[in-house]
Structure 1
């Protein structure tokens, strides 16, 4: 049987007793008594959440000048609501609103006079590009929505809000273009978000794990960005953007494997340059996974596959090395991860120094001590650089972790083990999907290749992806119509 909600009593004394009993342990909770025109008023709020100047200017001063009129006609605050339920008033107080009770009325007035403290809009820190907008999302959800509304000044931009987390009451906004997005994807996302039953949300990682389809997949299934212009570009393709209060990162879904190798720089330069760098990123993906494993294979099992001069050089560098290729490869890869974590966690000036000096010193010492070969140091450095070329941090991290099982298989079966590993990865990717959209759609047709493996000229990309925009695929109608 559902619990009956407690309704507001006309007496301010009853309301004060209810709030003080509920917030007895809260030292920053305030209850102020006022007598205006012979009428008793009570204000309830947390003084750490409200802006006292707003209360003075837009609540108290209008009440003092017109005490006999209705509160709704006097108070000049846009964020104004009324309620007859105590539960709604309690939630309003916790959210930073001021609750006003006029004696003799069985309703409470919820007034938005909360204190706004947020950092200014700054340049993106994790997705730096050479050209393009220099605005990034911040932790305030309203500001992020403001940025998106300015970029897409259309009634077709739909924003739906959800509150997730029984204790945290985290506000989440879902954005999509009504005339473009697939309604079935919107319905699936709505169902999954409403089914979340959790105490608090530390977004966007929690949302990612709670709505993803493959729970144990290393490959990211949602794209995370801090750039409003990138979010707009994906909205125009029929995708959905999820923004969360308290985090500058937004989630884009559904995405495919190829989305993680696209960068805004691709569209701010020539299509030939953009295509070249996109192919380079895909090549670096293969290097990050396969190069250390290939080194183990040719060192231990298949040296005959290399030119004789290269084999002689490799064997001479391994002649006095203490450990077998598998151990030295794993050791150098772990050392690379340690250096990377150290540079991230330390302060910026110190981290840069540790990264440069640590890499040089450790690399020199391990080679001179015959712990690893010169070739292995080159392989580790090239693998680390290749992983940093991938634009998505989530994909870059997943690829680095995948190199370890590839090394293990190569240490047992040589190049056959590496081939089996890549075959397993392809099979796994082909059976994945996000929100019903195939994750690894092979880009073999000309239509699919235009914005996956390559970045075709803008005038030739006339259609949106059929998976995310099935009802409105045309994005460009008369390209270069000025030319006759």
Structure 2
């Protein structure tokens, strides 16, 4: 880790500088002369063409706003209706106006879509919220579809996202904190948590990391993720992204923290564990038996996705003896005519699958589906007929790709695809011994990794038997009476005696 820091010049000195005392907000007192205020604001905003300066009251007042950000209907309703009636003095006293005497503050509000009213002989600048809103409708996220449950998803407007959360969690302890991050972009970052449930130490830790970010541009939570995560060189994601309000609220009630940003429909959940990426809202919206069955299938897909190609290569290259006698001849016949060793076969097929997957994402949807069909059927059949790849290798790689799709989280799905390559090399050089070493490296890394002070492989390492009730299996909800300890909640009790009625009914039957 230190070696990479020295190479890329991201050492401790820069981190200490970033986490030092924050720079004070610039101050520039406003002037009594109207022209001086206008000159200062227009020069600071580089005389942009979409910055409008409306001279009013025979040159004694002016209204400044960006026509690209301001809503003309709001301007007319809030300001011009008063001005047209001749009530100039009342503009400063309008209830929806905010006053300041700092020109730098007025600059920031102009850039957010506000209008600034300036008057001759007065140092008071009045700011009006007239920002135009272009919002996408609330729809179900494409990447997180469910069979049962809510079909609402976050949008790019962070205020709408907060509204979706508050509608589901109407409690006084729900808290939102705003931050402005990015020297140039000035992005609004929102931190959400349940006061009295979330760990104050984690909240303080996240707040300090957000404040230490000194980048010029922050566009989305994905930008923030690399700045504040514990181990940026780990292939495993240490924050879980979601576009579902119901999933976000469930994690808030577990004592976790939510990170959102203006302009992005994605919310980051932290701290997280490895097993959280295999949980889906469908597990809790369906009965616990079916939810447990589906979750076990997902966890099995982890082994298949990263280990199946390596397992096949190890058998073909080193360990023929593990095959049953009835399978040796068919397997031998399928690879007899292939000129390449199995490791080359696997690399070729895995890369082809990745190319097909990426092209299907980038192309328009109808064409993308066609590419998937053509790539899966035509190309797969053609390479087998040409004798370049064995038919068994096509089956193995296809099963591997399907297993990677089972993961509910796109980030972890990408991680599994990346881990396939080193395991292929281990298996191609050392056989089963190489696979064991590769799996041990992954397991050791998972046990060592942390997410904001929380063990990443909890509740397996360290072992917490009580938290296993919602890990490999999903037991009935009335048994999940305590919040998971990995979130470090202040209040661990989550459910009381919810099935007390069963005892009453038994007593009545006995009578």
Q: TM-score, normalised by structure 2?
A: 0.91
Partner of 2:131: 114
Distance 2:66 2:335 in 1: 69
Alpha-carbon shift at residue 70 of structure 1 (Å): 4.5
Distance 2:113 2:399 in 1: 52
Kindly indicate whether the alpha-carbon contact (under 8 Å) linking 2:231 and 2:449 is maintained by their aligned counterparts in 1: yes
Alignment of 1:294-443 (within 5 A): 294-443=311-460
Partner of 2:495: 476
Which of 275, 281, 288 does residue 271 from structure 1 map onto?
Answer: 288
Distance 1:17 1:293 in 2: 68
Q: 1:24 to 1:429 in 2, by over 3 A?
A: closer
Alpha-carbon shift at residue 373 of structure 1 (Å): 0.8
Alpha-carbon shift at residue 76 of structure 1 (Å): 4.7
Q: Is 1:137 aligned to residue 154 of structure 2?
A: yes
Which of 80, 93, 117 does residue 60 from structure 1 map onto?
Answer: 80
Q: 1:356 to 1:2 in 2, by over 3 A?
A: closer
Deviations along 1:406-457, one digit per CA (max 9) or x if unpaired, are 0000011000100111111110100110110000024355412111111110
Partner of 1:5: 27
Distance 1:200 1:391 in 2: 30
Distance 1:72 1:120 in 2: 36
Kindly indicate whether the alpha-carbon contact (under 8 Å) linking 2:459 and 2:465 is maintained by their aligned counterparts in 1: no
Distance 1:19 1:462 in 2: 58
Alignment of 1:221-232 (within 5 A): 221-232=238-249
Give me the CA root mean square deviation: 1.6
Kindly indicate whether the alpha-carbon contact (under 8 Å) linking 2:467 and 2:485 is maintained by their aligned counterparts in 1: no
Partner of 2:45: 23
Q: 1:442 to 1:423 in 2, by over 3 A?
A: farther
Alpha-carbon shift at residue 322 of structure 1 (Å): 1.6
Helix, strand or coil for the counterpart of 2:337?
Answer: coil
Distance 1:94 1:202 in 2: 16
Helix, strand or coil for the counterpart of 2:167?
Answer: helix
Helix, strand or coil for the counterpart of 1:321?
Answer: coil
Deviations along 1:291-312, one digit per CA (max 9) or x if unpaired, are 0000000000011112111222
Alpha-carbon shift at residue 72 of structure 1 (Å): 4.5
Aligned length: 479
Deviations along 1:90-122, one digit per CA (max 9) or x if unpaired, are 111111100001222211011100111121111
Distance 2:459 2:215 in 1: 37
Alpha-carbon shift at residue 3 of structure 1 (Å): 9.5
Alignment of 1:286-301 (within 5 A): 286-301=303-318
Kindly indicate whether the alpha-carbon contact (under 8 Å) linking 2:335 and 2:390 is maintained by their aligned counterparts in 1: yes
Helix, strand or coil for the counterpart of 2:219?
Answer: coil
Q: 1:4 to 1:245 in 2, by over 3 A?
A: closer
Helix, strand or coil for the counterpart of 2:487?
Answer: coil
Alpha-carbon shift at residue 40 of structure 1 (Å): 2.3
Q: 1:163 to 1:2 in 2, by over 3 A?
A: closer
Alignment of 1:160-309 (within 5 A): 160-309=177-326
Alpha-carbon shift at residue 479 of structure 1 (Å): 2.0
Q: Is 1:14 aligned to residue 5 of structure 2?
A: no
Alignment of 1:83-102 (within 5 A): 83-102=100-119
Kindly indicate whether the alpha-carbon contact (under 8 Å) linking 1:288 and 1:386 is maintained by their aligned counterparts in 2: yes
Which of 156, 166, 170 does residue 153 from structure 1 map onto?
Answer: 170
Distance 1:322 1:68 in 2: 87
Helix, strand or coil for the counterpart of 1:450?
Answer: helix
Distance 1:313 1:123 in 2: 47
Kindly indicate whether the alpha-carbon contact (under 8 Å) linking 1:288 and 1:399 is maintained by their aligned counterparts in 2: yes
Q: 1:360 to 1:49 in 2, by over 3 A?
A: same
Kindly indicate whether the alpha-carbon contact (under 8 Å) linking 1:121 and 1:136 is maintained by their aligned counterparts in 2: yes
Alpha-carbon shift at residue 316 of structure 1 (Å): 1.2
Q: TM-score, normalised by structure 1?
A: 0.96
Greater helix proportion? 2
Kindly indicate whether the alpha-carbon contact (under 8 Å) linking 1:58 and 1:76 is maintained by their aligned counterparts in 2: no
Which of 448, 463, 477 does residue 458 from structure 1 map onto?
Answer: 477
Alpha-carbon shift at residue 123 of structure 1 (Å): 1.6
Partner of 1:48: 68
Deviations along 1:223-271, one digit per CA (max 9) or x if unpaired, are 0000000000000000001011111111000000000000000011110
Distance 2:174 2:459 in 1: 31
List gaps (5 residues or longer) in structure 1. none
Kindly indicate whether the alpha-carbon contact (under 8 Å) linking 2:254 and 2:489 is maintained by their aligned counterparts in 1: no
Helix, strand or coil for the counterpart of 1:126?
Answer: helix
